[in-house]
Amino acid sequence: MPMQLSRTVCTLACPIVLACCLGACGGDTHDSRPKSECIVGSSEGCGRDHVCEAVEGGGSACFEPIRVAGRVFDSSNDQGIEGAVVVARDANEAAASGLATTESDGSYSLIVPVERDSKGNPTNLQVTMRADAAGYLTFPLPPRVALPVALDRASDGVVSSSATGIALVPLPDATGLGSVEGRVAIDDPTGTLVVVGSSTALAGTDGSFTAFNVPAGEATVRGYRVGVNLEPETVEVSANKVAGPVELHDTGPAKASVRGKVAIVNPGNGTDTSVILVVQDTFVENAARGEAPPGLRVERVTGDFLIESVPDGKYYALAAFENDSLVRDPDTSIGGTAIVAVEVSGANVVLDEGFKITGSLDVVSPDAEEETSATPALEWVDDSGEDHYEVAVYDAFGNLVWEDREVAGVSGNKNVSVPYAGPALTTGMVYQFRATSIKKGGSPISRTEDLRGVFRIR
């Protein structure tokens, strides 16, 4: 039996050494191809327990895979969820892996392909996780934010941390819902968001997808992929059953662009912002949020912006939606503060009116989905120009739970703190509070950020 070499030595040697190195790495000694000829994304040419991955600077080689392992569970009772679909996402929120399905205890393990440096270390150091399941709200959907998973923290090839544990919020009523499965049948499906009504799925690197919680009846399946137009498909959905498989095919390149501008006034701690396009079918009007296909986003905007290669569809343009210490100006009596609807149909779109952006109110607590009591104190940094404040609490579905429109302004204190005084909050449910400062006369000045002030009831 050939001697086992260390992974680093083998990685460096394999591009130039033939069968001897294949055996030393756990490969098939009968395969005479050099490691540099392995097929990226597969185990072909690498032997048992190894996968072929790209090497920084060009070429490919065989490595022990990096696995992300964790558990998907019900936020209300910590019970594992069987049959949930999990995928890793890259910095652009496109799929960075195939899909994994959870076991009966909610556990999952999936291989995340990564580019390696000459020593075998991953060059892309983190991903985030997405999970979907029948009877549960997708994670993450705004305002929930996924924590980064550090790929360079693998132990024996496995990454497991608090960020790989995913709490899903149960739907209040899953009666009459089914699922749709299928495949995005194009050369590179990575980055495709599949939308079926208000339900969504992120296609894995092989194009496969499952969209859960689709109401029974006829449904249209649409795919949104930067640079590509996909033909919609119609499917009949039955309650508690899986419809499909559906295949979404390329109908030609998406060359349209969306152009506009922002004006940043009184930015406070903010410097620049981002603009995203969210699919109208996913938009929750009450909470002013929706889901953006990966890549339909531009960042570091201080004036003019351009989003290119936009597929045909109906969107809303949201400026300053992400955490950057800036928000869309809440004073709807002036121009540039409305939610902007955008329809793309092959031609470039120029938005008639720009977005007015201002500095946000800074959240103190609760925040970042911390667990709190059922009667939390809602706290934010004082806006010195206010007469009073309005505060509202929404649940994870965007429903308004409680509001107080007459929170007194403060003086001589840096923070404003308001005890929650609404209906009883539900254990395990995720909520968000939003505060708005109001000047004398009733016009809004600023508000807390769209993705801050998120908490969970213990």
Where residue 244 sits, what CATH number does that domain have? 2.60.40.4130
- Residues 260, 350, single domain; the answer is yes
Tens digits of per-residue pLDDT, 273-304?
Answer: 999 999 999 999 878 889 999 999 999 999 99
Last residue of some domain: 303, 337, 359? Answer: 359
- Residues 329, 406, single domain; the answer is no
Query: What is the pLDDT confidence band of residue 37, given thresholds at 50, 70 and 90?
Result: low
- Residues 193, 234, single domain; the answer is yes
Last residue of some domain: 359, 386, 420? Answer: 359
Burial class (CB in 10 A: 0-12, 13-18, 19+), 441: exposed
Per-residue model confidence (pLDDT) at position 233: 98
Instruction: In whole angstroms, give the CA distance from residue 324 to residue 308.
Output: 22
- Residues 425, 355, single domain; the answer is no
- Residues 266, 246, single domain; the answer is no
Q: Are 277 and 293 in contact (CB under 8 A)?
A: yes
Last residue of some domain: 344, 359, 374? Answer: 359
Per-residue model confidence (pLDDT) at position 333: 84
**pLDDT at 33 > cutoff 90:** no
Supply the range of the domain harboring residue 221: 179-252
- Residues 367, 453, single domain; the answer is yes
Where residue 446 sits, what CATH number does that domain have? 2.60.40.4070
Share of the chain above pLDDT 70, in %: 92
Paired tokens of 16 = 């130039």
- Residues 343, 367, single domain; the answer is no
**pLDDT at 12 > cutoff 90:** no
Tens digits of per-residue pLDDT, 376-425?
Answer: 999 999 998 899 999 999 999 999 999 999 999 887 778 999 999 999 99
Tens digits of per-residue pLDDT, 186-232?
Answer: 999 999 999 999 999 999 999 999 999 999 999 999 999 999 999 99
Residue 309 located in a structural domain:
yes
- Residues 224, 278, single domain; the answer is no
Residue 136 located in a structural domain:
no
Q: How many domains does the chain have?
A: 4
**pLDDT at 139 > cutoff 70:** yes
- Residues 379, 399, single domain; the answer is yes
- Residues 245, 265, single domain; the answer is no
Instruction: In whole angstroms, give the CA distance from residue 45 to residue 39.
Output: 7
- Residues 264, 350, single domain; the answer is yes
